[in-house]
Structure 1
Amino acid sequence: MSEIVGGTDPPPAITSLESSKTSGNAGFDASRITEVKAWLISQFDAAGKDLPDFEYTPRSIAHLHKIVTLSQAKTQAATIVANDFRQKATEYRSQAARIREILEHVGLVQESLPSNVVSSAQVLANVANLLNIRDTELSSFLVAMADLSLRKTAVEEKRAKVQKESKELLDYTRKAIARLTYLKRTLAQLEDDVSPCEAQMEHWKTNLAIMDSKERQYLQQYSNYKAMLNRVGYSPEISHGVLVEMAEHRKDLEKKTKPILDTLRSYQDLPPDKALAALAIEDKKRQYAAAEKYLEDVLQSALDSNN
Structure 2
Amino acid sequence: MKASKRSEDNAKVLAADYTKKAAEYNAEAMQKKNWLDALKFSPDDLSEESQKSVTALANTAQVLDVQSPTSTNIVLALNQLEMDHMKVVNELEQEKGRKACLLEMSQQLSRKLEEIKRISQQAEATWTLQQEELSRDAKRQQFSREKSNNYAADITHYEAKLRQVGLSKEITHSHLCAKWADLQALEKQVKELEQQLQNYTLPPDMALAEVKVQEARQELASIMDGLAITCKTSPCSFCMLNCFYSTL
TM-score range, shorter chain: 0.3 to 0.5
- Give the number of the structure whose residues are more often helix, by fraction: 2
Between structure 1 and structure 2, the one with the greater Rg is 2
The alignment's TM-score, normalised by the length of structure 1, stands at: 0.37
